[in-house]
Amino acid sequence: MKLLRLSKQLEPTLIAIRRSLHEIPEPSFEEYETQRKICFFLKAVRIPHRRIPGTTGVVGIIEGSAKRTIALRADMDALSLDEQTNLPFKSRNKGYMHACGHDAHMAIVLGAGRLLKELGKELPGRVKLIFQPAEESPPGGALELIRRGVLKKPKVDAIIGTHVSPALAAGRVAFNHGAISAAADDFEITITGRGGHGSSPHKGIDAIVVAAYFITQLQTIVSRRVSALENVVVSIGKIRGGYRDNIIADTVELEGTVRTRSDAMRKAVPAMMKQVLDATCSSFGASARFEYIEGYPAVICNEQLTTLAEEACRDLLGERNVLRTSEFEMGAEDFAHYARKVPGTIIFVGVASRRKRKVFELHHPRFDIDEAALRVGAAALAYTAYKWLEQCAEGSR
């Protein structure tokens, strides 16, 4: 209750922070002004912090009465998108927008840090605040920060992230036990045939026709070679080839994405794609180059940590404001890299306004949030961190 009371008092500050960050969206690994603001906010509340060399990341540390450490993570980058809202604090950086709620994530983690700092020696352990660049651009900032030791000195024992959810009303939070998002990989394919005159296609090998057959056959991987109980998506997003109307194309370039839930499917699908590609090209006498680029793994929430977080939020916010969902999305999140190193979970924070009828989805140029969500998210994150540290302290007695 102390945290709820403090978060209510902190609400105007959290709103001001979020709006200040919303105005300055920056691309992945170029969050320089955002980094400066984060450092300014942390300094203002006397939370020791440091910039992560070679990146735009920031880490803050809140010391408590024990050595166990839990991390709270916020992502910092924006999307390449022209904002179409009429907000007085809309993006000042043309071509970029915080349309995925990262401005809110940063404000929530800053708010949680401020709340936990207020506890002083009542805090039964350490809390590390991680402000991470480049969530939107694979291979992502999480992997880079891990390589640079963000989970060490002090060693992180568990980690919690937040993500805003326009599917939930502000004031509510939700949890998903197990896998919550897909592994996201990319591929690039170049099909090579033999060029020629458009009037004599029999003298060439039309790479466009080969590509068309391949794209059609590619759809049979999901429909005929993968169990209907598996979550797999294979999509071509870009095609480039040809010169003009009367020339047989000698090459076609394809780019696409693969989304999978299980590690087994993540390993199996590229081999299936290569089989289809080789067989199709062989039947036309063409050849192909196939490059498969692994991106983010699936986010799998730790069961024990998720259960603790869910119970903590029920205590804090009441039964009706905490939901459990089994929804699995084929989108991706580089929080997955942290969750593969230490127990991790994500708290979904409702941001849909109760007053407005229209709710715009994430990545929409008119996306906005009900700012009442900020104090709720900050309190939920802080209280969950406190309860986890308390449980660890009791277990070590």
**CA geometry: angle at 109 spanning 56 and 38, to 5°?**
35
- Give the span between the Cα atoms of 226 and 219, in whole angstroms: 11
Q: Over the stretch 219-248, which tens digit does the pLDDT of each residue have?
A: 999 999 999 999 999 999 999 999 999 999
**How many CB atoms are closer than 10 A to CB 60?**
24
pLDDT confidence of residue 219: 96
Mean pLDDT of the chain: 96
What average pLDDT does the segment 338-355 reach?
A: 94
Q: Is the pLDDT of residue 273 over 60?
A: yes
- Give the span between the Cα atoms of 20 and 90, in whole angstroms: 10
Q: Which ranges of 241-360 would DSSP assign to H, the alpha helix?
A: 263-284, 303-317, 335-339
What average pLDDT does the segment 187-195 reach?
A: 98
For the chain, what is the total number of helices (H) and then of strands (E)?
A: 9, 18
3-state secondary structure of 6: helix
Q: What is the pTM of this model?
A: 0.92
What average pLDDT does the segment 40-68 reach?
A: 97
Q: Domain residues of the chain, as ranges?
A: 2-181+298-395, 183-296
Contacts of 8 (CB under 8 A, 6+ apart): 375
Q: Is the pLDDT of residue 397 over 60?
A: no
In order, the DSSP letters of 265-277 are HHHHHHHHHHHHH
And the tokens for 283?
Answer: 């039947």
pLDDT confidence of residue 3: 84
Q: How far is CA 96 from CA 25, 80, 83, 127, 231, in A?
A: 6, 5, 7, 31, 32
Q: Is the pLDDT of residue 97 over 80?
A: yes
- Give the span between the Cα atoms of 18 and 320, in whole angstroms: 27
pLDDT confidence of residue 84: 97
- Give the span between the Cα atoms of 74 and 106, in whole angstroms: 5
Q: What distance lies between CA 295 and its chain's CA centroid?
A: 12
Q: Is the pLDDT of residue 133 over 60?
A: yes
Q: How confident is the model at residue 154 (pLDDT cuts 50, 70, 90)?
A: very high
Task: Kindly report the backbone phi and psi dihedral angles of residue 156, in degrees, each rounded to the nearest multiple of 5, phi listed first.
Answer: -85, 130
Does domain 2-181+298-395 fall into CATH 3.40.50.2300?
A: no
**How many CB atoms are closer than 10 A to CB 196?**
17
Q: How far is CA 261 from CA 15, 41, 138, 178, 367, in A?
A: 36, 38, 18, 11, 27
Q: Top-level CATH class of 183-296?
A: alpha beta
- Give the span between the Cα atoms of 48 and 51, in whole angstroms: 11
**Contact assessment for residue 141 and residue 55, using Cβ atoms and an 8 Å cutoff:** yes
- Between 356 and 4, the more confident residue is 4
Q: What distance lies between CA 234 and its chain's CA centroid?
A: 20
Q: Over the stretch 277-335, which tens digit does the pLDDT of each residue have?
A: 999 999 999 999 999 999 999 999 999 999 999 999 999 999 999 999 877 788 899 99
Which residue in this structure is represented by tokens 């391949």?
A: 214
Task: Identify the burial level of 239 via C-beta atoms within 10 angstroms of its C-beta, where 0-12 means exposed, 13-18 middle and 19 or more buried.
Answer: middle
Q: Which helix (H) or strand (E) holds 189?
A: strand 183-192
Best CA proximity match to 174, nearest among 322, 73, 346 = 322
Q: Over the stretch 353-396, which tens digit does the pLDDT of each residue have?
A: 877 667 899 999 999 999 999 999 999 999 999 999 999 988 76
Instruction: Enumerate the β-bridge partners of residue 176.
Output: none
Task: Identify the burial level of 102 via C-beta atoms within 10 angstroms of its C-beta, where 0-12 means exposed, 13-18 middle and 19 or more buried.
Answer: buried
**How many CB atoms are closer than 10 A to CB 278?**
13
